[in-house]
Structure 1
Amino acid sequence: MNYRTISALVLSLSLVLATFYPLLAEIQAQGQDESLMTIGGKPVEKDELIYLISKGKDSDPSSTGMSRDEFEENLNQFINYKLKVREAVELGMDESQEFLMEFESYKENLKAPYLIKNSLEEGELRKAYSRMQEVVRASHILFQFPPNASQEDSLSVLRMALKVKDQIENGGDINELALEYSEDPSAKQNKGDLGYFTALQMVQPFEDAAFSLQAGQVSDPVMTNFGYHIIKVLDKRPNPGQVRVSHILVRIDADDPNAEDLARRKVADIYTEIQKENTVWENIVKNYSEDPASSQNGGMLPWFSVGSMIPEFEMAAFSLTEIGEVSPPVKTKYGYHILRLEDKKPIDSFEDLEESIRSRIMRDSRSTMIQSQVMAIQKSRYSFDENETSIGNLESELKTFTQIQLPGAVAAKGLDNNELFTLQGTTYTMSDLVNFIESEELKIPVKTSAFDAWYDRFTAAKLNETEEQDILQNNKEYQMLLKEYHDGILMFSLMNQEVWQKGLQDSLGQRSFYQENIQDYQWDERVDAFIVKVLDMNQLNEARAKLRGSTLSTELISSFESEFKSNNPLAYQTESGLLEFNNHPVLSEANLNESYQEIEVNGHLHLIVLGDKLPAGPKDFSETRGLVIRDYQEFLEKSLTDRLKEKYPVQINNKSKEEAFVSLNQ
């Protein structure tokens, strides 16, 4: 594990929190005797070294124990890293606006895995994916609430739903009852039969009820935003995944009383034609299909899963089992279809679907449910106590005021000190809520009063802040991750200022370094050469005729490249220029006194044209500038490290050092 490995671990970025340094100081104060080392008198904990090295080992599955030499190498790299962080702090880089903004920008990503919300979201993701392994076929009857329904109205709807449920359980046909009672507009066509569906295709209460029932069972009334539903599960089966079909469509003209019969006869004739030997499906589609979107491309439709198409079409598609199998005519509301199976594939993995599931969950009622659960857990965990009497008074006093009017109304009515709630021993008042409103640069669209909307927002904000503080104070892994990102930015900033940018931009320093180390930038003996590797021996004679007896020149090389290589790009590989010959795989075998020769190396014939030979000597600065910059940056880094070791003496606690070594090998 080299220096850049540890650097890569610490260059990821995150946010600075106001309590970070007080907390760090407290941690350090508690563990002075257990410090791994001091740098310029300030302690560095062994846990930090263990964390960074372990993180590097975790990224390498083949990694096993660590030898003493490897440990010493990593320790030295860690010391150099901490010296740079210490210098960056001394220079005030951790207080710069650039640092604070950069650190802040990564806060959400850094803390997210440790939040209550994350574990609840993960649970919903896994539950949704688990449900996706199954498809459910159900029928339902919808009983809608009247507009502006009263409590009595809602009870009347509920009583009707219970009455119809009793009829179903006593032998009534849910599909016939749906025709009579359901207020779902589609019931007139489907008699309440929703076909097959899977997770995230119905509103959450409906989905929860459907997946909790066994085939043949009838639900109690299920309330959604649409009203009360009575649900009967007709079938459950494994999710068949996705299917791709092509189809032929024969439409039915709704204005022609004879259209149904005509369409049925036409599709029957087409189906008969398809059964004939040597019939080309694409030609039949092009000639007869009345679907303009697909008739010109063989009737091909996009991939789809259960619940994506109308039930009749979908059931016909998923009933096909063999690629190329053709269905009998299927009637839907669009007309008659004949389907051909093009391909099938199973449901995608959780990893492939995770972001799609997350997006869909965050767009439906589950997101509100998750947020409610988060707040409930936070309130319980952090001793939240609402002043119900004060809240009731504030709601009454402020219910008519808008967001803009609210602060003034609070002041005018003398409500500033009215208590809202206590959270971990801290009491928040109406004054705190007003300050919060004035600090937020947004307007909340409200269905209730502005006070209620802002009170809910303020409460959520304070609970989230409290949870973040709890993580920071009590989660060791988060503390380490936060420190890693914090120190990584500082180390990067110092290196960028003192090494990388300086090495790139200091042209005088580069030339001075080049002159002082000229012995490292030397050419070996070279020869001007043009080498043609023959890959297609059928093209050998033409190339040989072109090169044999010719004098090496730019014109010769250009002519060969344009006349031969460009016309036969797979016949030759070429190399040209002033080349060091002693270790060259081809030139090391050549006779440098012959201007033209042919040499076989590694099974390929090489045609060689040689020019002038040049003795060994120094490279021009322009010829080696890239290498000089790299070496100069390494020199600057070593000089920086040596200077910092003098500025901040390192004292190692050998007992803690040995404990760290043992811990890394457990």
Structure 2
Amino acid sequence: MKIKYLCLLTLGIATACSPASKVIPADSGQEYQYLMTIGNEDIPAEEFLHVLSKSRDFDDESQKLSNEEFEENLSLFINYKLKVKEAEALGMHKSEEFRREFETFKEDLKKPYLLESSLREGEVRKAYNRLQEVVNASHILLRFPSNASKEDSIAVYNMAKKLQKKIQDGEDINQLALEYSQDPSAVKNKGDLGYFTALQMVYPFEDAVYELKPGEVSNPVLTQFGYHIIKLKDRKPNPGQVKVSHILVRTDPADPISEDHAKRKITDIYTELQKEESSWKEVCQNFSEDQGTKQSGGELPWFGVGSFIPEFENMAFSLEEPGEISAPIKTPYGYHIIRLEASKPLGSFDELEESLKAKILRDSRSDLIKEQVMAMQKSKYDFRENLSVSNKVKDIFDNYLPGDLEAIKNEISHQQLLDSTLFSTQNGKKSVADFIQFIKADEVVVKPKAKQFFKPWYHKFEEVSLNEAEEADLMKNNESFQLLVKEYRDGILLFNLMNEKVWQKALNDTSGQKTYFQDHQEQYQWEKRVGALVIKVNQKNYKDSLYAFLKEKPYSGDLKKKLEERFLKQEPLAFTMEQGTFELENHPVLSKVDLGKELQDLDVNKSLYFVALGNTIPSGPKKFSETRGKVIQDYQESLEDDLIKTLKEHYIIQINQDEKNRIANIVVKN
């Protein structure tokens, strides 16, 4: 992905998108002024102002440009537009590679501007606000019979209303749940769900609970499981998350003796933990029966309210200080002793935003958002459906299997419906032929069932068509989006041109590199150099022994290795070293040495250095192999200069001085 280059390539001036930038749409009816014309293309003055405004607020006098900076930016802008113009002239914008890359970028660029994004942001905010509290509720679930008729559904609803009335009249919801609820867990918990928070229940259930006050009973709430009657018992601030360790002694419900044995064992373990010399980890490893955690001291991951069974969770959240150990508690798994390791409050919105978005994408509210988006799009983009045609097409589809698309098409053609309009938006009409081609293209994920072939494909066709209408509306009427899309489009073209004409050419043209090196030999010269070992002393107590060692060993290529063997194996941080051939003037330590002394100590920036010197090498030309990287870089710059020169000769550039002065009055310091 070439996104990392766009910050540099999109004009080479600034980066972030400025919401304050303005460009006048071509069809707005306003007079559209141009800053310049390159070849046959007019470049709007507002496009240049948009670029300049990215990293500066020109309402602030201190952020305005000098005349020199303005002219430099204008020159860069001209060069940029010349390169984009040349890329288009070479047909780079028509290539399949460009189309794919640009469409990928555009999909990402438009997301913040879409109706769906604003709705999803609202759901994320709502979920985070709900996370501030935990709620305690009980419920009764009434399921629908299999293959339920409309009458069956009404009967279930009426029963739910009767139970609601009983609870409101004072009957105990938990006793009623034991008698009536069809939630399998009601046999054990009597419908008591304990404490939970947002994103832990199905969305309609959560929505209903958070609308209740403690003591209130809901109307029947419809979910995919059936009708629920919910009573809210309590709501309180979310305590955040805890990290605990535990020791488990299991029980076997089928063996009465195991209960008594487990109770005695957990009591003995708890007594052992009270001893001052006891080790939690050792006791856990020796006695815990949770095979998945005992070797790590019983440690469990961080968790919040609603993540564990209530008995365990309630005790975990009752512990206050890290290291505090609970008394033994009973759960369906057996007996536990819990130790608090750490606790932390609920994270900030910024910390939780991405995880909330991911959860909502997997949640049923994601489908709800899509339904709301489609309803808003249909209203905003003047969606009109031709029901008589769509019903006829549906009837034809329902007589065939999904694989019989050609037969379906032939039947539709026979009934002269291919060119008929299914629906229209302000973006245009969609015909039956368009719909069939959409299915044949198979570019979207649709999983139709036999005898339900038409409905899912038609719904997806509507969805894609409405999204196209929304994108077309953005491109026509949203100035910020127009500028951003153009910026990325031109940035990709610029990258492709530079990559072909400059960067890769310079990298691959070995002959050109050598010719450039030979023609510019004076640029590639060594200053006076010296072979040296430079030692920075980190621990001063090694100073004397280090100096004594160096005094007996003249400079050689293996001197560094000898020092490592002698000193650093025992004390690796005593000193650091660099050895090689260095230019004297460019080295912070060697620039200060006395070349007449083979061994010397220096104080540089309050640090002690020992320097062992070898042979001095006079200044002279570099070999190509010694400076190839710099040659390639310079060669690239030369190719770019040549490219700009050629483009300026090829394309006529005309500057509108009035518009240039107008922009200068906005961005240049007085």
User: TM-score, normalised to structure 1's length?
Assistant: 0.90
Choose from 467, 479, 482 the match for 1:479.
482
User: What are the residue-to-residue correspondences of 1:418-567 with 2, within 5 Å?
Assistant: 418-424=420-426, 426-440=428-442, 444-446=447-449, 449-548=452-551, 550-565=553-568, 567=570
Q: Which amino acid aligns with 1:7?
A: L
CA contact (8 A) 2:527 2:619 kept: yes
Residue 663 of structure 1, CA deviation: 4.1
User: What are the residue-to-residue correspondences of 1:372-411 with 2, within 5 Å?
Assistant: 372-405=371-404, 406-411=408-413
The percentage of counterpart residues that share the same residue type is 49
Residue 269 of structure 1, CA deviation: 4.2
Residue 464 of structure 1, CA deviation: 1.4
Choose from 647, 651, 654 the match for 2:650.
647
Instruction: Rate the CA distance shift 1:34–1:326 in 2: closer, same or farther, 3 A.
Output: same
Residue 549 of structure 1, CA deviation: 5.3
CA contact (8 A) 2:330 2:336 kept: yes
Separation of aligned partners in 2, 1:220 and 1:149: 21
Partner of 2:145: 146
SS of match in other structure, 1:432: helix
SS of match in other structure, 1:140: strand
Deviations 1:369-416 (Å, cap 9, x if unpaired)? Answer: 111111111111111122223333333343221223232332344433
Choose from 606, 610, 618 the match for 1:607.
610
Instruction: Rate the CA distance shift 1:468–1:330 in 2: closer, same or farther, 3 A.
Output: same
Instruction: Rate the CA distance shift 1:663–1:113 in 2: closer, same or farther, 3 A.
Output: farther
Residue 515 of structure 1, CA deviation: 2.7
Instruction: Rate the CA distance shift 1:101–1:398 in 2: closer, same or farther, 3 A.
Output: closer
Instruction: Rate the CA distance shift 1:633–1:396 in 2: closer, same or farther, 3 A.
Output: closer
Separation of aligned partners in 2, 1:285 and 1:561: 46
Separation of aligned partners in 1, 2:189 and 2:54: 58
Q: Which amino acid aligns with 1:649?
A: I
Which deviates the most, 43-52 or 249-258? 249-258
Partner of 1:306: 305
Residue 130 of structure 1, CA deviation: 1.3
SS of match in other structure, 2:579: strand
Which deviates the most, 437-446 or 466-475? 437-446
Deviations 1:506-525 (Å, cap 9, x if unpaired)? Answer: 22322232233222222222
Deviations 1:274-300 (Å, cap 9, x if unpaired)? Answer: 344444333333343322222232222
Separation of aligned partners in 2, 1:571 and 1:87: 59
Partner of 1:15: none
CA contact (8 A) 2:11 2:80 kept: no
Separation of aligned partners in 2, 1:508 and 1:559: 43
Separation of aligned partners in 1, 2:446 and 2:381: 29
Unaligned runs of 5+ in 2: 14-22
Partner of 1:75: 74
Residue 6 of structure 1, CA deviation: 6.2
Separation of aligned partners in 2, 1:632 and 1:455: 57
Residue 62 of structure 1, CA deviation: 13
Separation of aligned partners in 2, 1:418 and 1:600: 89
Separation of aligned partners in 1, 2:162 and 2:61: 66
Deviations 1:246-274 (Å, cap 9, x if unpaired)? Answer: 12222222222344344344434443443
Instruction: Rate the CA distance shift 1:147–1:482 in 2: closer, same or farther, 3 A.
Output: same
Instruction: Rate the CA distance shift 1:540–1:128 in 2: closer, same or farther, 3 A.
Output: same
Tell me whether 1:90 sits opposite 2:89 in the alignment.
yes
Separation of aligned partners in 2, 1:625 and 1:234: 76
Instruction: Rate the CA distance shift 1:126–1:560 in 2: closer, same or farther, 3 A.
Output: same
Residue 434 of structure 1, CA deviation: 1.8
User: What are the residue-to-residue correspondences of 1:334-413 with 2, within 5 Å?
Assistant: 334-405=333-404, 406-413=408-415
User: What are the residue-to-residue correspondences of 1:10-29 with 2, within 5 Å?
Assistant: 27=26
Partner of 2:285: 286
SS of match in other structure, 1:548: helix
CA contact (8 A) 1:222 1:229 kept: yes
SS of match in other structure, 1:55: coil
Q: Which amino acid aligns with 1:67?
A: S
Residue 82 of structure 1, CA deviation: 1.0
Instruction: Rate the CA distance shift 1:566–1:653 in 2: closer, same or farther, 3 A.
Output: farther
Partner of 2:20: none
Separation of aligned partners in 1, 2:412 and 2:398: 11
Which deviates the most, 618-627 or 479-488? 618-627
Residue 199 of structure 1, CA deviation: 1.0
Partner of 1:200: 199
Residue 537 of structure 1, CA deviation: 3.5
Partner of 2:16: none
Partner of 1:627: 630
SS of match in other structure, 1:446: coil
Instruction: Rate the CA distance shift 1:269–1:53 in 2: closer, same or farther, 3 A.
Output: same
Q: Which amino acid aligns with 1:71?
A: F
Q: Which amino acid aligns with 1:408?
A: N
Partner of 1:114: 113
Deviations 1:572-617 (Å, cap 9, x if unpaired)? Answer: 3333333333454433443323333444444444333333333222
Separation of aligned partners in 1, 2:238 and 2:68: 55
CA contact (8 A) 1:10 1:485 kept: no
Q: Which amino acid aligns with 1:577?
A: G
Residue 433 of structure 1, CA deviation: 1.8
Residue 234 of structure 1, CA deviation: 0.6
Tell me whether 1:592 sits opposite 2:591 in the alignment.
no
Deviations 1:206-226 (Å, cap 9, x if unpaired)? Answer: 010000001111001111111
Instruction: Rate the CA distance shift 1:121–1:33 in 2: closer, same or farther, 3 A.
Output: closer
Separation of aligned partners in 2, 1:188 and 1:76: 79
Which deviates the most, 166-175 or 278-287? 278-287
Separation of aligned partners in 1, 2:450 and 2:311: 41
Deviations 1:337-386 (Å, cap 9, x if unpaired)? Answer: 22221111112222332232222222232122111111111111111122
Partner of 1:579: 582
RMSD: 2.9
Separation of aligned partners in 2, 1:448 and 1:346: 52
Partner of 2:324: 325
SS of match in other structure, 1:348: coil
Separation of aligned partners in 2, 1:11 and 1:147: 65
Instruction: Rate the CA distance shift 1:492–1:391 in 2: closer, same or farther, 3 A.
Output: closer
Unaligned runs of 5+ in 1: 13-23
Q: Which amino acid aligns with 1:615?
A: P
Residue 426 of structure 1, CA deviation: 3.9
User: TM-score, normalised to structure 2's length?
Assistant: 0.90
Residue 482 of structure 1, CA deviation: 0.9
Which deviates the most, 568-577 or 211-220? 568-577
CA contact (8 A) 1:549 1:596 kept: no
User: What are the residue-to-residue correspondences of 1:217-232 with 2, within 5 Å?
Assistant: 217-232=216-231
Q: Which amino acid aligns with 1:656?
A: E
Deviations 1:171-207 (Å, cap 9, x if unpaired)? Answer: 1011111111111110111110001111111111101
CA contact (8 A) 1:11 1:485 kept: no
CA contact (8 A) 1:249 1:338 kept: yes
Deviations 1:39-73 (Å, cap 9, x if unpaired)? Answer: 23421112211222222348xx9983333333222
Separation of aligned partners in 1, 2:591 and 2:392: 96
Residue 447 of structure 1, CA deviation: 6.6
